[in-house]
Amino acid sequence: MKIVDLTVIPADDRTAVAAIAAEAQVNFKDCYQCGKCSAGCPMVQGMDLMPREVIRYLQLGKVQEVLNSKTPWVCAQCGVCTARCPQNVDICATMRAVRHAAKDAGITPVREADVFEDEFIKNVRAHGRSNEQYLAMKYNLRSGHLMQDVDSAPAMFARGMIGIATHNIDSRDEVSALIDRVLQNNGAAKEAPKGGDAS
Ligand code: SF4
Ligand code: SF4
């Protein structure tokens, strides 16, 4: 039987895991694979790796498997996993850090999630709050899902949930500065370019 030495991790993979750990402020060795994170996650049905497995792969230096996984892009950032972890491993932050690392490497396994995040942040920057009708329009155009949720529009329009007018708040610059601070704190400032949203 071939013996696999799990302690031998290529230098590039070791560096990539360390960068993800640093951004998420997590020590992956803290995880003892109890699985409580996966058991509480509401999004597992759409995931190709369970949250526990993401951490395990990172422990083993298998960074390419994680970067190519749909899981961090399907993650809704609800924080349940992190709240349940008996070892205080911030799985939620790890998912964010993996997304940033994947995007830096040109890997976006769930392109729709990437498009939505970009458009949502641009929308909130431009208006100080989300204007759903324009967000949906931009998302549909960029994602190629041109008719997605179009059936719901008339009823939403009739109930005043969406409309033609945009609703801006007065302190848009402050909201934009707040977004900058959050993105800089998690190392993702480059992920959400400013401006350019005329919606
Ligand atoms: S809950 Fe925490 S310790 Fe348990 S598998 Fe998940 S990350 Fe590891
Ligand atoms: S933060 Fe993501 S991985 Fe964690 S429980 Fe929520 S959806 Fe699942």
pLDDT at res. 189: 42
Nearest CA to ligand 2 atom 5: 41
DSSP type of residue 3: P
pLDDT at res. 1: 67
Q: How far is the CA of 198 from the centre of ligand 2 (A)?
A: 32
pLDDT at res. 2: 67
In Å, what is the CA distance from 49 to each residue of 55, 57, 82, 109?
10, 9, 17, 13
Which residues, 6+ apart, have CB-to-CB distance to 182 below 8 Å? Answer: none
- pTM for the structure as a whole: 0.81
Ligand 1 pocket: which of 58, 91, 95 to mutate (most atoms <8 Å of CB)? 91
Cα gap 65→43, rounded to integer Å: 19
Cβ atoms of residues 53 and 67 within 8 Å: no
Q: What is the DSSP string of 11-77?
A: HHHHHHHHHHHHHHT--GGG-----HHHHH-TTGGG-SS-HHHHHHHHHTT-HHHHHT-SHHHH---
pLDDT tens string for the chain (199 positions)?
Answer: 667 666 778 889 999 999 999 999 999 999 999 999 999 999 999 999 999 999 999 999 999 999 999 999 999 999 999 999 999 999 999 999 999 999 999 999 999 999 999 999 999 999 999 888 889 999 999 999 999 988 998 998 898 888 888 889 999 999 999 999 988 776 654 444 444 443 3
Ligand 1 within 6 A of CB of 169: no
pLDDT at res. 6: 65
Which atom of ligand 1 has the smallest separation from the CA of 91?
Answer: 7
Ligand 2 pocket: which of 47, 53, 80 to mutate (most atoms <8 Å of CB)? 80
Ligand 1 within 6 A of CB of 186: no
